[in-house]
Structures are given as C-alpha cells and as structure tokens.
Amino acid sequence: MKQLNNERFRPASRYYLKLFSLTYLGFGVQVCITATETPPRVRRPDQLKLPFTITTEFPSKSSRTMDPSLIKTVNKLQDAFSTVGVQNLIDLPQITVVGSQSSGKSSVLENIVGRDFLPRGTGIVTRRPLVLQLINRQITPKEKGPENEIEEDENGNNKEEWGEFLHLPGQKFYDFNKIREEIVRETEAKTGRNVGISAAPINLRIYSPYVLTLTLVDLPGLTKVPVGDQPRDIEKQIREMLLKYITKPNAIILAVNAANTDLANSDGLKLAREVDPEGLRTIGVLTKVDLMDQGTDVVDILAGRVIPLRLGYVPVINRGQKDIDAKKSIRNALEAEKEFFEQHPSYSSKAQYCGTPYLARKLNMILMHHIRNTLPEIKVRINAALAKYQAELHSLGDTVVGDNANIVLNIITDFCQDFRTILDGRSEELSTLELSGGARIAFVFHEIYSNGVQAIDPFDEIKDIDIRTILYNSSGSAPGLFMGTAAFEVIVKQQIRRLEDPSLKCVNLIFDELVRILTQLLQKPIFKRYPLLKEEFHRTVVGFYKKCMQPTNNLVSDMVAMEGCYINSTHPDFLSGQQAIAIVQQQQAKPTTIDPKTGKPLMSNHSHSQSQTDISSGSSNFFGSFFGSKNKKKLATMEPPPPVLRASSTLSEREKMDTEVIKLLITSYFNIVKRTLIDMVPKAIMLKMVKHAKENMHRELLEHLYKPGVIDKLLKESETTVQRRKDCEKMVESLLQASEIVAST
C-alpha cells in the first residue's frame, strides 16, 4: 500500500475524479481518491481547491503474472498464416501503431526494442506494414562474459540479440544496420523507389533479453499532401490501409501523438475514434513531451480531461535528430527519459507511470489479457475456416491420377444420369424457390403455348366484308342460292395456318429450356476443373439439340398442315350448318305485333315496303349491294368494271345472316383445331426432342468425346483450378498447424 499526497493532479470536479480513476485502472493499478476535508462552496468546478489523498493499491505479483506463451502463440499463428501469403485470414490480437507522419512512431518502437533498426528520413519512410514480433529470451550464465555482462562489439551488437525475417528463413541478423537495409530493400521490392505504398507486410522477429514479449504492427504515417512521385491519392491509400488493420475488433490501437501539438488535431487519434468511438481499445502515446513550451504539460491529458481513453495515455521522450546525429545510444536516451520524468515538477510523483519501459510493460500486459480473452473465439474461427477450405479442396478434387478414359466415361455417365433426373423431377437438389428442369418444360406447354394458342382470334385479320367477298368469290359465275361450303373451308384453312408460328415457337422455347438444363449441369465443380471438357460438352450437347430440332419442327408443321388439309365437318364437337342457321335466326329474330282481335301477327306498312324493296333488289340485281347509290345515267352507259372491284360496306339482311353463320362455323371448327394442337404439339416435341435426348445423349457424347486422341486434351486442368488447389492446400496446411497451436495452449 502506498499513499501519495498530490495537488498537481487534483481534478476539478467529481466527474474528473471518475475519469482519473479509469485512467489509472488502465495502468494496471487500482486508484482510490478520497477527500481529506469537506469541500467549500464554489461557483465553478475549476475553482475547487480540494486536498486529497491518492491511494494506489498494486495487484499482487501472482495476479499480475500472465503466461508469456500466449503472445508466442499468436506469433506462431501469424507466421503460420504469413507462410501461405494470406494476411488477416483470422482476426488475431495485435497492437497496431498509427499516427501522423513524423509523429515519432518509429522512435517509439526503437525505444521499446532498444536498438536502431528502422529506416529514417524525410517524407513517408514506413511504406509497408511491419509486423514486429519481440521475443524475450533468457541468457544462461555460460553466455555471459567474464564480468557477468554480455560482450558487445564496437557497434553495440552482440550474439544474444538478433533479428529474423519471415521471407528469409534461417538467416539471423546480428547487425541491426543490416536489418534496416533489408527492410528498405524488401520495401522497394514491392513499392519501387517512387515513394509508393503496399499493404503486403514485412514480418520481423527480434530476439533479445532486453525486450518484453510483444507483437506490434508499424503502419505508414498519415499524410495530407503528396510530394515527389507520390500518387495523387496517397492520403486515401494510406487511410484505407490503416482502416483495414484497425477496424478489426481484436486490434489494439496505439495512437502516437506529438505532445507539443493540439491533441484535438491529432490525425492518429481521430482515425482511432472512427473505429473505436468509446476509446475502449485505444492507447494514447504522447511523444516530444520535452519539447513543450515552458510552463505547459500534459497532466490534463493524462488525467482524461481532454479526450478520455479507457486504456489511458503514456508520455514518452524520444531522441531528437540532434541526438541521432550525435549517435546517442537508446540506452542513454532511456536513462535521460527516466531522469526527465523524475525531476519534472509535473510528472515526478507519477514518474513510474511515464516513459518507454512502462509503456512496454503496459502493452505487454494489455496484449496478454486481450489474447487470453479472445483465444476461445480464435479457436472457433480457425475451425470454421478449416472446414470451409477443406470443403473447397474436396470440390476441386485431387490431382488427376489413373486412367483418363475411365474418368471421362464416368463424367459422361454421371452427366446423362443427372440430365434424366432433372427432366423427371427426381433430383436430390430440388429447389424450393423456383421452378427448374422438367417443371419449366411443363410450364411452357401448359401455360405459355396453351395460352398463346387460345389467344389467337380467327377474326383478328378478317372482317365481315371480307367474309362476304369470299362468299361471292366462292360462288363463281353462277350465284348460289345457299351459303357456300367452299367459302367456309377457304377461311378456316387460312386461320389454321396461323397456328403454325406459335407451335414452332414452342419448339424453340423447349430448346432454350434444354440449354438451360445443360448450363445448370455444367456449373458442377468437375467442369470448372476441366474448362476444355466443359466447352466440348456444351458444343456437343447444343449441337445434338439442334439436330433434334429439325425433325421436331417438321413434325409440328405437318400436324398443322394435317389440320388444314382435311376439314372434318363430321367432328362430334363441330357445329352443323343447320344449328348455326338456327342460332343466327334466333339472334336476329324481331318481336312482332299481335292483333288483339284475330291473334295473328301484324305487319306494318314500313316493314311491308322494306320487305318488298329487299325482294325487288334481290331479284333485280344480285350484285346490287356491291355498288353505292344507283345512278341511272351511269348505269345506262354500261361502262366496263374497274380493274379492282370491291364491295361496299353495306350488307343486306341475307348477307348479314350468311356472314354470321360462316363466323359461327369458323369459330366452332377453329376451337376444335386449337384443342387438338394444344394436346398434340407437346407430345410431338416430347417424342422428337426431349425423349430422344434422354435416350440418345449418352451415345452422342461417347461418339464425340470418348476418343483416344481427345481424352487427354479434355482433362487438362485450367491454370486457375491448379493455382486454387495449391492455395487451398496451403490454407488447409496452415489452418491445421494453427489448430494444433491453439489446441496446445
């Protein structure tokens, strides 16, 4: 238990007391703030001058101890996924470092490592994410020198600290200047020398007895204006890259901000608040504290009075450019940092919570807690991803091994079997959302074709005046006394021929449905694996369908021609002439006046005169109704008939009756023909096309595909399939390794 009296960190209100408590909870200690006397009445919270006691209760050593192997487990998982060239396959816990350009991110990382190993310069220096894995290794007494110290060369390098790159397995870098050169070389290998950026990370592992086991991801600094050869959208590219890393829920955000600038204008903190608005997984690092104006400090920020963060802030001091040029070592810089905080009046009482060593311990503790909490979820995600890639690998199949002829024969047999089951509706993968296969063919027959034929009206293209003209034309030179049968047959045959087009269109629709079934079958993984085989299947089957269409079209056309060739007027459903006349007479019957005295019908003078006129006109001139008003002078000249002789639009009573009788007979017989074709055309298509395809598809495919010189060519896999199988194999191998890693924890 330790009690500290402090007035410099005095909060201004009870609200600040709460924030202050939360901030220090982020440091891994419990803070209790109690007032030592009753506060006086004040008008504003900032006028509150309250002596108080800060009681810091440190957790026991056993409760603070976490298993460092948790971080090593995540490091192994990162390496396992990086070996297959896929990043972020599983959302692993990691600390991502963000900040504006030249905010001191690289210096913070170098101070944590205790070595100069990162590239330096003006502009964007970090152009690829650097996954930095720090591994603490214990040194045995045998490895120490005679004075119980590690022997170092003139550059400060020793045999107990080294770095390893994942892309250079087995190669150790004891010279940290070589590490910097390799980072630059590997960066330029991906991005070139034009200051471009790349999202492909560089994995670096550093072994040292002076570091805590930790994993950090150094990301490019945020920039506003492109310089030099940088692309115009460099700000957008960097922003998208950073969001890709920090948006993941398992990412802890280390927001680096310069203390000598306004925190509200911090680009790194602003970006962190976009994905973590409540600041639950964001740690603030305040650099350049020693460069602040005299009389200013960051106490309000540390107390959470400006922008509170659940994990708090840590102030640090980095080497300046003058120190770097003077080759000031990081160890000396850390000593100077410690001395600065211990002697500064604003930070001296809390110096143990300031500086790079405390930041490293804090990050180590937070990361281990975070890994421990997320490890069960990671196991579930790894198992789910493993099952997914194993299923995809199974669908891609193994590398072709065995007799190619048997493979092609099995594919043909399976294809034909699937074709028949889809047509018959016996497939095991029947859809509950839409019609497919044979059901669509039935829909074409019973809905599209049936409704299309029923919608054809025999009198769409022929009018009453046309029927009358045909009636007279069919009478020849001797006008008939009764309705002509020839006129009925001429008209009904013309209308029957109109049924040929929808019948042939039905054949085309069924052809399209068969091609649709073919396309559905060719979506199976086996055909994606062999694109040449798929192409040959499609060409052969479509060609087979086309060969079936010609006899089908001929049969359908013959069926329509049969109906027009012979008019069966004795059909039991056909309306006879006498019935038609009776119906027309009944429709045209007019009510008559009955004499009340005699009980006989009376005929008016108008009706009598009209009847006499009709009889007179009918007997005097057979073609009287073909002409307009009679002009006696014109008739007397006996001019020859015009080249084109057309009837007038006025019909006599007899012509009206004959026309209506003909229309009834045409409608009756046309309906008989439509019912016949609706029944017979689907049967013809099924016989010549669908049934023929079901029975002869296997033979057709064997004739075209099962050939010695063709089989090997057809079984050549696509480059996409080969590459995807390799990727899936790597994924499965990596995930199996990851599963073993998490199972051992």
Give, rounded to a whole angstrom, the gap between the first and last alpha carbons of the chain: 35
577 in the same domain as 475 = yes
* Residue 372 within a domain: no
Q: Tell me: the pLDDT tens digits for 511-522?
A: 999 999 999 888
Asked whether residue 386 carries a pLDDT value surpassing 60, the answer given is: yes
Q: Is residue 657 part of a domain?
A: yes
pLDDT exceeds 70 at position 92: yes
For residue 638, the one-letter residue type is M
For residues 541 and 447, state if they share a domain.
Answer: yes
Judgement on whether residues 451 and 328 belong to the same structural domain of the protein:
no
Are both 326 and 430 inside the same structural domain?
no
Report, as an integer, the average pLDDT of 141-148: 56
Average pLDDT over residues 383-393: 85
Residues 350 and 412 both lie in one domain? no
Q: What is the mean pLDDT of residues 481-492?
A: 68
Q: Is the pLDDT score of 222 beyond 60? A: yes
Residue that is last in its domain, among 331, 354, 377: 354
pLDDT (tens digit per residue) in 285-312: 999 898 888 888 889 898 888 888 989 9
> Using an 8 Å Cβ cutoff, are 84 and 385 in contact?
no
Q: Do 456 and 337 share a structural domain?
A: no
Say how far apart CA 204 and CA 165 lie, in whole Å. Answer: 5
Q: Is 48 a domain residue?
A: no
State mean pLDDT over 600-623. Answer: 44
| pLDDT above 90 (res 510) | yes
Q: For residue 402, is pLDDT > 60? A: no
**131 and 217: one domain?**
yes
Q: 265 and 188: one domain?
A: yes
Residue 551, pLDDT > 90, answer yes
| Range 396-422 average pLDDT | 80
The pLDDT, as a whole number, for residue 576 is: 64
d(CA 6, CA 34): 12
Phi, psi of 594 (to 5 degrees): -100, 130
Which domain covers residue 166, as residue numbers? 95-137+158-354
What is the CB neighbour count within 10 angstroms for residue 54?
A: 20
Residue 6 lies in a domain: no
In this structure, what CATH number is given to the domain that contains residue 198?
Answer: 3.40.50.300
Q: CA–CA separation, 543 vs 43, rounded Å?
A: 94
Task: Return the pLDDT at 473.
Answer: 66
426/329 same-domain check = no
Cβ neighbour number for residue 484 with a 10 Å cutoff: 19
| Residue 52: band (very low, low, confident or very high) from pLDDT cuts 50, 70, 90 | very low
Higher per-residue pLDDT: 4 or 143: 143
DSSP, residue by residue, 463-497: -HHHHHHHHHHHHTTS--SS--HHHHHHHHHHHHH
> 580 with 658, same domain?
yes
Within a domain: residue 621?
A: no
Instruction: State residue 680's pLDDT score.
Output: 93
In eight-state DSSP terms, residue 28 is: T
Q: Please, is 74 exposed, middle or buried when counting C-beta atoms within 10 Å of its C-beta (0-12, 13-18, 19+)?
A: buried
- What are 634-661's pLDDT values in tens digits? 656 666 666 765 655 555 566 666 677 7
pLDDT tens-place string over residues 155-186: 667 788 899 998 888 899 988 889 989 998 98
* Predicted local distance difference test score (pLDDT) of residue 14: 39
Measuring CA to CA, which residue among 336, 359, 332 is closest to residue 134?
Answer: 359
What interhelical angle do 500-521 and 404-424 show, nearest 10?
Answer: 130
Contact 100, 94 (CB under 8 A): no
Quote the pLDDT of residue 449. Answer: 92
Q: Which residues of 505-543 are buried (b: 16+ CB within 10 A; e: fewer)?
A: ebbebbbebbeebbebbbeeebbbbbbebbebbbebbee
Q: Is 340 within a domain?
A: yes
Domain boundary among 354, 384, 413: 354
Q: Is residue 31 in some structural domain? A: no
State the alpha helices, DSSP H only, in 566-576: none
Question: Are both 189 and 107 inside the same structural domain?
Answer: yes
The reply to whether 208 falls in a domain is: yes
**pLDDT, position 445:** 92
pTM comes to 0.55
Q: Say what angle helices 653-685 and 464-475 make with each other, to 10 degrees.
A: 100
The pair of structure tokens assigned to 732 is: 């499965």
Q: Which tokens is 90 given?
A: 């599983």
Q: Which among 471, 473, 553 has a CA at the least distance from the CA of 505? A: 553
